[in-house]
Structure 1
Amino acid sequence: MVDARRHGPKAVEAVPPLGRTETQTLAALFDTVVPPDDAPGGWHGGGAALLREHLNGFLDWAVPVLSAAIEAVDQAARDMFGSTFADLPALERAHVLANVLQGEELSAVDHAERADRPIDTVIELALQAYYGGTREPAGWQLTGFRPVPEGVEEIEPDPVPHVRPGALEPEYDVIVVGAGAGGGMAAAELAARGRRVLLVERSRPFSNAELRGNHLQGKRQQLHDVIAGPGRGSPRVLELADGSTRVLRGDGPGTDYGLVAMALGGGTRVWQAMSWRFLPQDFAMASTYGVPDRSTLVDWPFGYDELEPYYERAEWELGVSGDSASAAATRAPRRRAFPMPALRDNGLRAPYTEAATRLGWNACPIPFAINSVPRAGRAACVGCPQCVGHACPVDAKNGTHNTAIPRAIETGNCDLLMSTQVTEVLHDQRGHARGVRAFHVADGTVSELTIRARSIVVAAGAMETPRLLLASGLGNDWVGRNHHTHAAAGAVAAEAPVSKEYVGPGHCVATLDFVHAGGAPWGGGVIFDLPTMLPVETAAMGRASAASFGVVHKRWMRESPLPLGVLSMVQEIPHELSRVSVAPTVRDRFGMPVARLRGCAHEASGEAAEFIRERCVDWVTELGGQGISSDSYPGGSRGGEHSGGTVRMGADPARSAADPQGRLHGTANVFVADASLHPTNGGFNPGLTAMACALRVAALMP
């Protein structure tokens, strides 16, 4: 055993803007949360590095909270032991910390506000620094986590070429707003057809290295200012159930904000890459199940057969791996096999499939937009454990950033303009668009642009697309309405006879037996194995399962297996009150009205989620799981990565925002090409469907 005192807080350098004495107390606090032993404690194991690097950056909000925590433990230490906190032995420091934390839990009025819970916040930050960090923290070695498998050489792809404002043409045939799943596919199709296209993306160019390995600012974790997020100056307004509102910062945690990754490729840059087709029944939900009260549920204006050729194109142009003989292929009729075989087993497919078989269910490999074999000059998946929410270390994960958009540019017909936010679609009173107004940011300098085009395609996502249209005075009353994501359910075992390893891509096996089948109400949804949890996520779970901090928590992190269980995506029945509108008084840094989000869960979605929750428990029980916990979520999210429906398609302008070809009602040349078009969102991840719809919109544009 190494002498723990060598990791102690006695000789520490000040972390500005904190003074030396404050820093010593803070170091003692971090080492009390994660005590040093044969591994470093919380301060040297990640806390000092995190605060030195980011206390004047994305953690600037924490300075007064940390000061309050320091004052609280010093006062308690003097009251209890007649000494400052940093001068106490480790056991007495732990006693002080537990005592102050208990008092905080009893007295805090609003635990959602960090200022009301400074001790809890320090514990949270210490665990995040040790097990997450923004560089390799000590907790990774402690838990056996490796961000990249041993022996794998990371690859940094060449940047995608983009133009400067001075190189823009006087006029384009089409401006595509948003270089994500839909916008990337639409731009590629239009450029291939000889249209002169400008693809506009609001994010700056990111390297792949910037979008992985940071578990505090990653897209999926959303613990702090997300790297692939809007940043400062881009607030949103959240409307609560009682009608009151709260302004959300664009550089805060992404959960309430409803964050969709803002990067070249949009969500496909860092997605988990599940690539499901919707089933035929998903296009006729109202006809199949009826329309419950207070719902905006309708059928799609066309059926599965209309979209099938575009599904095929999306799979082959993107690159999808799957088992062409499985339910993932046969439940949705297809004319062509997957481009690549299914990804290799991560060690769990066999036991999950065997358990499903004993239940009388079918299970199959999940189709992924990830190379299972080398393809298109890029490597096959290496099984890194942080695929979900992070960029790929070998560029094996497929998105529009490394498929459709480069192909569009290679035609010579497409220019890509980065770091540019479109704030208005310019049009006349007849709804004929003539261009866009936008703001370009480079090296801290903002320049306003007016760019002309014969047609506009808006593909900024199901929250930003209606925002732009409404801010521009375009569209009918259905723009922004019908917003929905997914309901969900899951079950997790405390103990199981099989164990999960840190092997990607995270998911491996699924059952479709409760998607429009098996007695599932309202379309049900797909059930699949639990993703690989990162150490920082496991540490948060440990606070509830073992102890908030200290020796017991650290031992739990060393000894506890990764959680084993299942999750699901459940069809959400859209509620009439869920919508995206624009705030009348709050504006972003460019003067554009911000999005106002309201979510309301429909009871039908809750019914479906509860049914699926019971099936989740059945599967985990059959796996041999013990101490199973489960939950269901009825939907009603204010926004998120599966958002859709806010500019839904339909033949009748009285019940839809866009026509069946994606043209915005009331306009001559404004089209939408993202998940905003989806009347319903299926019981699957909707990414592939958004791309297929975008291809169709672009192919049918006059």
Structure 2
Amino acid sequence: MRTAEPGSDDERWLRLVTSAELRTAVDRVVPADAWPGGWKGGVGAYLSDGDPEPRWALPALERLVDDLTRRGFAALPAQDQDAALREVAAHETLGADLDALVRLCWEGYYASRRSAGDPAHAATWPVGLSMLGFRDLPPGTSPVELDLPTTVAADRLRDHYDAVVVGSGPGGGVAAQTLAEAGHSVLVVERAPLLPNAGLRGDHLHGKRNAVYRSPAGPGPGHPRLTVHESEDGRLHETLVDGDDAWAYGLNAYALGGGTRLWQGMAWRFFPEDFAMASVYGNPDGATLADWPVGYDELEPYYTRAEWELGVSGEEGPLTGRTRRSKGYPMPPMGGEPARDALTSAAGRLGWAAGALPLAINSVPASGRPACVRCSSCVGHACPVDAKNGSHNTFLPRALATGNVDLLVDAEVTVVHDGPGGASVEVMTGCSGDAVARTVRADVVVVSAGAVESARLLLASGLGNAHLGRHLHDHRFVSLRCEVDTPLKNGLGPGHSVGTLDHVHAQTIPWGGGVLVDLMSVLPLTSASDPGVGVPRWGLAHKEWMRDRRPYAFGAFGMGQEIPSATSAVTLADVTDRWGRPGARLRKSTHPASLEVEAGLAEHGTRWLEAAGARGVHRHRGAATASAAGEHSCGTARMSDDPATGATDRYGRLWGSSRVVVCDSSLHPTNGSVNPTLTIVANAMRVAEHLRDSWPA
């Protein structure tokens, strides 16, 4: 580490990382045994290489080191050092300081990372990953990079396009392809910069799902939100959230291809009942359940197209028998694993049906791209061999191949104008200090920025009726942890492998229930930070658990219906983004019916695990604060045949506007009992086709 000015933060940090007390404490948090201790195993390099991100802990580590110095900590025998750290851990203030050190030890010892988060640098591979036998890619596998598309410079934009599509995720990608193939000129505006797959993977500290620091999948600074929480006494409390906090901000990825660039790929169809929730279940007090204006039968041909045009691997059988299908899957299911075998057998003993999950991942070579290599870092990371299917490598390339599409990245639409003679958008590019504003006219603007950002953009543009932004909801999630006698998750991807739909629209769980699947393998950093019940938080026993018992950790995951409530909504906040436009204000209320769904998922997930021989099954509640934006948010521009009950018509046309069409999850009146992406694609195909066939004069 270079020298620093006396009294500066650099000098204070240098003094810390060269202190005997800090180094000794690191080696008690991760003691040496047959494998190196923490300092030599990666923590020393992590704290000394100039990366600014760990510096958040500077005050805490200074207080801790001061206390340890007073104790003569570095000269104590190892057992007395451990006793001193246990005493520190029990202290009200110093305990939190020790927590900061422990967190940095796990980041340095168990996390693959790139220098200062720079995608251009090779990932660091600390000793902890080698100790665990963790491998990111199978031996002999070489990464295959995504063919990055040609983009248009801001100063080369046309004044007019037939359509401007805001967002490049599954809805925007489908719309761009459909309109471009019909001969229309299309501008796709994507907020994220253009990054290769290598810039969106290989880093356990910055992956979108597991980020502990700013993720390259954004959105980054300059995009604040206000989240509203209701206390037990009924008071509302607002919290300012910036784009650096992935969990609090929301897990939607900002990248070319949107969430499908980094998802795990579960590609389920909704059930017929999902399109008629209000009719099937009624509407409990305070809820805003509504039927879709379209049903399963109308969407079925589009589901089939979505599976074939996106590329889904799956099998017809226990998980498909309850929904009519006009065609099978284009690819066989992903290969099996011990978890699938164990839970399929357990389901049979319970009288349930289980099977391989449908995944939008190449199980065999397809579309000129290879099959999945089952890397250990799938969800939240880009695919190392481009086998994971999404808008970025299916719909968008087909749209661009027509020659009718301009793709503008690292730019934002800030305002949408609509009128009987045409529409237009205000586009901002560049940094806020040297930003360039451009007005682009269009026959139609297609808004596909996700349930939160689509609503925010349209509200900030002064468009929409009273339902725009309302009915925000997601899914309910339940995570169950346990131990098994034989390792069932071998660390290979893509993650979830087996599921049962026996508690979807069944008598076992109210309000439509949900799907149960195996819990995916988690990254070593996640295990270290949140080990099993009764595992010490640090020390030799923690290291031994990581090395010897971690493979025996197992679990199940439940995802079910979230009942939209009258008070959950996206509105405009009194904070502004880097362009001076209002940010989103998110209020999310949990309806009691949603908690009934959670309880049912937990009950039957526990039964499933116990039937598989699991011990110590318990519901796990993570420490991270869930975001009101969630991961599967929807409903904020819900479709309806009547403007009195929805924000758009059945074809996504914004009520009160003649040339603005919404084409993403915002349209979903309800979110089903399973992952929504295949439904987003299928419905986008239907919406985009209607737009193509009824082009405004």
Q: CA deviation at 1:672?
A: 0.4
**3-state SS of paired residue (2:129):** helix
Q: Which residue of 1 aligns with 2:151?
A: 162
Q: Which residue of 2 aligns with 1:4?
A: none
After the TM superposition, which residues 532-611 of structure 1 pair with which residues of structure 2 at under 5 Å, given as runs? 532-542=521-531, 545-562=534-551, 563-583=553-573, 585-611=574-600
Q: Which residue of 1 aligns with 2:685?
A: 695
Residue of structure 2 aligned with 1:406, choices 370, 374, 397: 397
Q: Which residue of 1 aligns with 2:675?
A: 685
Distance 1:504 1:144 in 2: 15
Q: Which residue of 2 aligns with 1:357?
A: 348
Residue of structure 2 aligned with 1:382, choices 367, 373, 377: 373
- Of 33-42 and 354-363, more deviation after overlay is shown by 33-42
Q: Which residue of 1 aligns with 2:116?
A: none
After the TM superposition, which residues 442-461 of structure 1 pair with which residues of structure 2 at under 5 Å, given as runs? 445-461=434-450
Q: Which residue of 1 aligns with 2:31?
A: 35
Distance 1:445 1:545 in 2: 54
Q: Which residue of 2 aligns with 1:123?
A: 102
Cα-to-partner distance string for 1:416-448 (whole Å, 9 max, x where unaligned): 1000011111235x7x75211121127985322
CA contact (8 A) 1:267 1:641 kept: no
CA contact (8 A) 1:609 1:632 kept: no
- Of 269-278 and 487-496, more deviation after overlay is shown by 487-496
How many residues of Structure 1 are paired with residues of Structure 2 in the alignment? Answer: 669
Residue of structure 2 aligned with 1:671, choices 642, 661, 665: 661
Cα-to-partner distance string for 1:215-250 (whole Å, 9 max, x where unaligned): 111111132212201111111111121212111121
Q: Does 1:344 align with 2:335?
A: yes
Q: Does 1:244 align with 2:233?
A: no
Q: Does 1:102 align with 2:90?
A: yes
CA contact (8 A) 2:13 2:58 kept: no
Q: CA deviation at 1:213?
A: 1.4
- Of 340-349 and 586-595, more deviation after overlay is shown by 340-349
CA contact (8 A) 2:481 2:620 kept: no
CA contact (8 A) 1:487 1:571 kept: yes
CA contact (8 A) 1:597 1:639 kept: yes
Q: CA deviation at 1:59?
A: 4.1
**3-state SS of paired residue (2:558):** strand
**Counterpart amino acid of residue 636 in structure 2:** T
Q: Does 1:626 align with 2:626?
A: no
Distance 1:498 1:595 in 2: 44
Residue of structure 1 aligned with 2:16, choices 4, 22, 45: 22
Q: Which residue of 2 aligns with 1:5?
A: none
Distance 1:568 1:221 in 2: 19
Distance 2:658 2:588 in 1: 31
Q: Which residue of 1 aligns with 2:119?
A: none
Alpha carbons of structure 1 residues 598 and 615: separation in structure 2 relative to 1, 3 Å: same
Q: Does 1:480 align with 2:459?
A: no
After the TM superposition, which residues 106-255 of structure 1 pair with which residues of structure 2 at under 5 Å, given as runs? 117-134=96-113, 135-241=124-230, 242-251=235-244, 253-255=245-247
CA contact (8 A) 1:12 1:24 kept: no
Alpha carbons of structure 1 residues 518 and 636: separation in structure 2 relative to 1, 3 Å: farther
Q: CA deviation at 1:44?
A: 2.9
Unaligned runs of 5+ in 1: 1-10, 109-115
Distance 1:443 1:659 in 2: 36
CA contact (8 A) 1:346 1:504 kept: no
Q: CA deviation at 1:510?
A: 0.6
Cα-to-partner distance string for 1:607-662 (whole Å, 9 max, x where unaligned): 122112111011100100011112589x9951122111011000111110111000
**3-state SS of paired residue (2:386):** coil
**Counterpart amino acid of residue 301 in structure 2:** P
After the TM superposition, which residues 420-459 of structure 1 pair with which residues of structure 2 at under 5 Å, given as runs? 420-428=411-419, 434-441=423-430, 445-459=434-448
Residue of structure 2 aligned with 1:74, choices 37, 60, 66: 66
Q: CA deviation at 1:88?
A: 4.4
Q: Which residue of 1 aligns with 2:120?
A: none
Distance 2:621 2:530 in 1: 18
CA contact (8 A) 1:310 1:693 kept: yes
Distance 2:432 2:130 in 1: 38
What is the root-mean-square deviation of aligned Cα atoms in Å?
Answer: 2.2
Alpha carbons of structure 1 residues 518 and 410: separation in structure 2 relative to 1, 3 Å: same
CA contact (8 A) 2:418 2:657 kept: no
CA contact (8 A) 1:276 1:367 kept: yes
Distance 2:210 2:97 in 1: 21
Cα-to-partner distance string for 1:386-422 (whole Å, 9 max, x where unaligned): 1111111111100010111011000111111000011
Q: CA deviation at 1:457?
A: 0.5
Unaligned runs of 5+ in 2: 114-123
Distance 1:168 1:54 in 2: 41
Q: Which residue of 2 aligns with 1:260?
A: 252
Q: Which residue of 2 aligns with 1:368?
A: 359
Q: CA deviation at 1:28?
A: 3.1
Q: Does 1:322 align with 2:311?
A: no
Distance 2:412 2:237 in 1: 29
CA contact (8 A) 1:66 1:118 kept: no
Q: Does 1:638 align with 2:628?
A: yes
CA contact (8 A) 1:602 1:636 kept: no
Q: CA deviation at 1:306?
A: 1.2
CA contact (8 A) 2:247 2:626 kept: no
- Of 513-522 and 618-627, more deviation after overlay is shown by 513-522
Distance 1:412 1:652 in 2: 38
**3-state SS of paired residue (2:392):** coil
Alpha carbons of structure 1 residues 133 and 394: separation in structure 2 relative to 1, 3 Å: closer
CA contact (8 A) 1:66 1:122 kept: no
Residue of structure 1 aligned with 2:277, choices 268, 273, 285: 285
Distance 2:225 2:177 in 1: 31
Cα-to-partner distance string for 1:650-698 (whole Å, 9 max, x where unaligned): 0111110111000011000100000000000000010111111111111
CA contact (8 A) 2:489 2:520 kept: no
Q: CA deviation at 1:91?
A: 3.5
Distance 1:525 1:440 in 2: 42
Cα-to-partner distance string for 1:237-293 (whole Å, 9 max, x where unaligned): 111212121111212x31121231000011100101000000111000000011000
Distance 2:48 2:186 in 1: 45
Q: Which residue of 1 aligns with 2:602?
A: 613
**Counterpart amino acid of residue 615 in structure 2:** Q
Q: CA deviation at 1:154?
A: 1.1
CA contact (8 A) 1:73 1:97 kept: no
CA contact (8 A) 2:17 2:47 kept: no
- Of 370-379 and 128-137, more deviation after overlay is shown by 128-137
**Counterpart amino acid of residue 309 in structure 2:** E
Alpha carbons of structure 1 residues 345 and 32: separation in structure 2 relative to 1, 3 Å: same
Distance 1:246 1:41 in 2: 40
Q: Which residue of 2 aligns with 1:333?
A: 324
**Counterpart amino acid of residue 184 in structure 2:** R
Distance 1:600 1:404 in 2: 35
- Of 189-198 and 664-673, more deviation after overlay is shown by 189-198
